[in-house]
Amino acid sequence: MARGSLLVVGTVAYDSVRTPAGRRESALGGSGAYFSVAGSYFTGVSLVGVVGEDFAPSDMDILRSRGVELSGLETKPGRTFRWSGVYGAEDVKTRDTLDTQLNVFEDFAPSLSDAHRASGYLFLANMEPSLQLDALTQMSPRPRLVSLDSMNFWIDGSGDALRRIVENVDVVFMDEGEARSFTGQVNLSAAAKAVMGTGPSSVVVKRGEHGALLFHGDGVFSAPAFPTERVVDPTGAGDCFAGGFMGYLAATGDLSEAGFRRAAVVGSVMGSFAVESFSLDRVGSLERGEIEGRFRALTEMAAFAPLGEGESLPWRGRQDWREE
Ligand code: AMP
């Protein structure tokens, strides 16, 4: 498999979700499914995971229709991973998990083919941290870039195992609450620095409708969120953010500061599509112009005139008001 190719190991799930906009039962979801579909608009993506015998051929077709490479998606006896959650009526960012059934994921051990092991870019999607470590240790040679996502279910239940894998990756994606609970730091810059102090060179803190902060080396970049009015279901927004981010980097190979900044904006664009429908309905059927249009709109939104050579901001100091 080419060094520019992107591998994701993660869950493929049936999600039952209730949001202020409505509800959807047993719909295609999962960290690996959302990520691979979002990334597939930019580069070839291989998905490694497991589904049960109840997994519908039509759902396999949704992944296939985006050209996701599925040789590593096993079907095992038993039921597919299931998750259900409910979002706050006042603040759609607040989510409660009602139920998590690992099902076939309980006995899952990722087994990577030679082609998968040689992928240049790896995303360890939200799943049990020991599985993330297992997948990473199989890679040979080490990918150009390894990133990881997690969630409170694992931060609370398997924090030590998660810390061991975080130390070994380049980029960590977390939402605000996860960054705080993982590090014990309330301040987001302090939380990001605490994570980076253990190994990763970048941390992306996702802040929902407030965009995302990319901590990269000594710099910080603030990627705006696209202000969509159609928030139907936030499930998978984080995975689609990561899919856009990693897909862009794998497609361009540009791991410079400028490349990372663009990747964060592409991530923000893909997250904004994910929230506009339940399941993969919207993010699975995008046109090129829609993605480009939002990227250009965000470029416009974030632009402001820099101070020119020798120019400074207006300033009224003590001396000035004393003399007035
Ligand atoms: P996100 O909204 O981006 O955080 O991702 C939500 C997706 O993660 C849903 O589609 C779920 O199926 C999946 N998910 C929920 N809980 C877990 C878990 N404990 N481990 C792995 N995947 C999960």
Task: Please state the rounded mean pLDDT for residues 194-219.
Answer: 95
Nearest-CA residue for atom 9 of ligand 1: 30
Task: State both tokens at 85.
Answer: 């959650």
Determine, yes or no, domain membership for 324. Answer: no
**Domain limits at 70?**
6-302
Evaluate: CB of 238 within 6 angstroms of ligand 1: yes
pLDDT above 70: residue 210: yes
Evaluate: CB of 183 within 6 angstroms of ligand 1: no
Instruction: State the closest ligand 1 atom to the C-alpha of 238, by its place in the atom list counted from 1.
Output: 3
Evaluate: CB of 33 within 6 angstroms of ligand 1: no
CB 94 within 8 A of CB 118: no
CA 289 to CA 220: how far, in whole Å? 29
Domain count, the chain: 1
Evaluate: CB of 235 within 6 angstroms of ligand 1: yes
Evaluate: CB of 38 within 6 angstroms of ligand 1: no
pLDDT in tens, 265-282: 999 999 999 999 999 999
Nearest-CA residue for atom 15 of ligand 1: 83
The counts of H helices and E strands in the chain are: 12, 13
- Give the pLDDT confidence score for residue 123 in this predicted structure: 98
Average pLDDT over all residues of the chain: 95
Determine, yes or no, domain membership for 75. Answer: yes
Mutate which of 9, 17, 19, 31 for ligand 1? The one with the most ligand atoms within 8 Å of its CB, which is 31
Determine, yes or no, domain membership for 117. Answer: yes
Determine, yes or no, domain membership for 316. Answer: no
- Give the pLDDT confidence score for residue 322 in this predicted structure: 82
Instruction: Say whether 67 sits in a helix, a strand or coil.
Output: coil
CA 290 to CA 292: how far, in whole Å? 6
DSSP state of 217: T
Evaluate: CB of 280 within 6 angstroms of ligand 1: no
Evaluate: CB of 101 within 6 angstroms of ligand 1: no
Determine, yes or no, domain membership for 247. Answer: yes
pLDDT above 70: residue 4: no
DSSP state of 126: S
pLDDT in tens, 97-130: 999 999 999 999 999 999 999 999 999 999 999 9
pLDDT in tens, 224-263: 999 998 899 999 999 999 999 999 999 999 999 999 999 9
Determine, yes or no, domain membership for 158. Answer: yes
pLDDT in tens, 144-176: 999 999 998 899 999 999 999 999 999 999 999
Mutate which of 83, 86, 98 for ligand 1? The one with the most ligand atoms within 8 Å of its CB, which is 83
Contacts of residue 20, Cβ cutoff 8 Å, sequence gap at least 6: 87, 88, 89, 92
Q: How many A from CA of 302 to the centre of ligand 1?
A: 30
| Ramachandran angles phi, psi of 92, nearest 5° | -65, -10
Tell the residue number behind the tokens 């039509």, with chain if given: 58
Burial class (CB in 10 A: 0-12, 13-18, 19+), 303: exposed
For the chain, state the CA radius of gyration: 20
Q: How confident is the model at residue 14 (pLDDT cuts 50, 70, 90)?
A: very high
Task: Please state the rounded mean pLDDT for residues 31-51.
Answer: 98
pLDDT in tens, 45-63: 999 999 999 999 999 999 9
Evaluate: CB of 50 within 6 angstroms of ligand 1: no
Task: Please state the rounded mean pLDDT for residues 182-206.
Answer: 96
Dmax (CA) of the chain: 83
Starting at the earlier edge strand, list the strands of the sheet with 81-87.
22-29, 13-19, 81-87, 95-101
CB 6 within 8 A of CB 121: yes
Determine, yes or no, domain membership for 95. Answer: yes
pLDDT above 80: residue 2: no
pLDDT above 90: residue 188: yes
Determine, yes or no, domain membership for 153. Answer: yes
Task: State both tokens at 137.
Answer: 């240790």
Evaluate: CB of 279 within 6 angstroms of ligand 1: no
Q: How confident is the model at residue 31 (pLDDT cuts 50, 70, 90)?
A: very high
Q: Domain of 262: which CATH number?
A: 3.40.1190.20
Evaluate: CB of 13 within 6 angstroms of ligand 1: yes
Evaluate: CB of 153 within 6 angstroms of ligand 1: yes
Nearest-CA residue for atom 20 of ligand 1: 127
Cis ω for the linkage preceding 141 (within 30 of 0): yes
Task: Please state the rounded mean pLDDT for residues 82-100.
Answer: 89
Q: How many A from CA of 126 to the centre of ligand 1?
A: 6
Q: How many A from CA of 315 to the centre of ligand 1?
A: 49
Evaluate: CB of 151 within 6 angstroms of ligand 1: yes
